[in-house]
Chains A and B, each alone.
Chain A
Amino acid sequence: MSKKNVILFFLFFSLLSYKVIASDADQVNTDSEDFETTTIEDEIYDPFEPVNRAIFSFNNVADRIVLEPIAKGYKKLPSPLQSGINNFLSNLRAPLVVVNQLLQGQGQNAFQSSGRFIVNSTVGIFGLFDVAEKMGLEEKEEDYGQTLATWGVGDGFYLVLPLFGPSNLRDTSGMVLTMLTDPINAYAVSEGEAWLVPMRTAANAVDTRSQIIDEVNALRDNSVDYYAAVRSSYYQNRKAAINNVDDSELTPLPLISIEFE
Chain B
Amino acid sequence: MKFNLIIIFFIIFISKNLYSDETSEWLKKEIDIILEAYKNQNLSNENRFLLIEETINNNFAGTGIAKFVAGKAWKKSDKNTKKIYIENFKRHLALNIASMMQGYSDQTYELTKSKYDNKNQVTLIDMEIFSDTGSVVVTWRVKEAKDRFFVIDLIVADISLVVTKRSEFNSMLKKVDNDLSKFNEVLSDQNQISYQKITE
A and B: bona fide binding partners: yes
Residues of A within 8 A of B (CB): 1, 5, 12, 16, 19-30, 34-38, 40-41, 44, 79, 82-83, 86, 211-215, 217-219, 221-225, 227-229, 231-233, 236-237, 239-241, 247-260
Q: Within residues 46 to 73 of chain B, which ones have a CB less than 8 A from any CB in chain A?
A: 57-65, 67-72
Known contacts A34-B68, A35-B70, A254-B152; decide if A40 and B163 are in contact (CB<8 Å): yes
Contact A236/B153 with A24-B58, A224-B168 known, Cβ cut-off 8 Å: no
Which residues of B line the A interface, CB within 8 A? 4, 8, 11, 15, 57-65, 67-72, 74-75, 92, 95-96, 99-100, 102-104, 115, 117, 120, 122, 124, 126, 132-134, 137, 139, 141, 143, 145-148, 150, 152-153, 155-160, 162-172, 186-187, 190, 193-194, 197
Asked if B163 contacts A254 (CB within 8 A), the reply is: yes
Q: How far is the CB of B105 from chain A (nearest CB, A)?
A: 10
Q: Which of B99, B102, B163 contacts A38 (CB 8 A)?
A: B163
Q: Which residue of chain A has its CB nearest to the CB of B143? A: A258
Partner of B172, one of A12, A225, A236: A225
B67, A214: Cβ atoms under 8 Å?
no
Q: Is the interface of B mostly helix, strand, loop or mixed?
A: helix
Q: How far is the CB of B174 from chain A (nearest CB, A)?
A: 10
With A and B bound together, what is the CA distance between A235 and B191 in angstroms? 26
Q: Which of A12, A240, A259 lies in contact with B158, CB distance below 8 A? A: A240
A241 to B122 CA separation, bound complex (whole angstroms): 23
Indicate whether A248 sits within 8 Å of B139 (C-beta atoms), given known contacts A16-B15, A258-B150.
Answer: yes
Q: Are A221 and B70 in contact (CB under 8 A)?
A: no
| Alpha-carbon separation in the docked complex, A12 to B177 (Å) | 51
Question: With A236-B164, A254-B166 in contact, is A214–B62 under 8 Å at CB?
Answer: no
Q: Is the CB of A221 within 8 A of B155?
A: no
The interface residues of chain B lying within 8 Å CB-to-CB of A79 are 132-133
A116 vs chain B, min Cβ distance (A): 16
Please, how many angstroms separate the alpha-carbon atoms of A20 and B148 in the complex? Answer: 9
Could you list 16 examples of A-B contacts with CB < 8 Å? A21-B146, A25-B62, A29-B63, A30-B61, A30-B68, A213-B103, A221-B197, A227-B171, A229-B165, A247-B158, A251-B159, A254-B153, A258-B61, A258-B150, A258-B152, A260-B146
Query: Which residues on B sit within 8 Å (CB–CB) of A35?
Result: 67-72, 74-75
CB distance from A48 to the nearest CB of B (A): 15
Q: Is the CB of B68 within 8 A of A229?
A: no
5 additional contacts (CB under 8 A) given A225-B168, A256-B143: A25-B61, A41-B166, A86-B133, A221-B194, A260-B145
* Residue numbers in B under 8 Å from A23 (CB-CB): 146, 148
Q: Which residues of A contact B168 (CB under 8 A)?
A: 223-225, 228-229, 232
* A241, B158: Cβ atoms closer than 8 Å: yes
Q: How far is the CB of A246 from chain B (nearest CB, A)?
A: 9
Closest-CB distance, A46 to chain B (whole angstroms): 9
A260 and B150 CA atoms in complex are apart in Å by 12
Q: How far is the CB of B134 from chain A (nearest CB, A)?
A: 7
CA distance A34 to B117 in the complex (A): 19
- With a cutoff of 8 Å between Cβ atoms, the chain B residues found around residue A24 in the complex are 58
The answer to whether A251 touches B163 (Cβ under 8 A) is: yes
Q: CA of A161 to CA of B104 in the docked complex: distance in angstroms? A: 30
- In chain A, what residue has the closest Cβ to B148? A22
Residue of B at shortest CB range from A78?
A: B132
Q: A residues within 8 A CB of B193?
A: 221
A226 to chain B, nearest CB (A): 8
Residues of A within 8 A of B120 (CB): 253, 255
Instruction: Tell me, rounded to whole Å, the shortest Cβ–Cβ distance linking A72 to chain B.
Output: 13
**B133 near A211: Cβ-Cβ < 8 Å:** yes
Provide the bound-state CA to CA distance between A233 and B166, in Å.
11
For A243, the closest partner residue in chain B by CB is B158
Q: Tell me which residues across on chain A come within 8 A of B64, comparing CB atoms.
A: 28-30, 34, 256-258
A25 touches B150 (CB 8 A): yes
Task: Flag if A248 contacts B169 (CB, 8 Å).
Answer: no
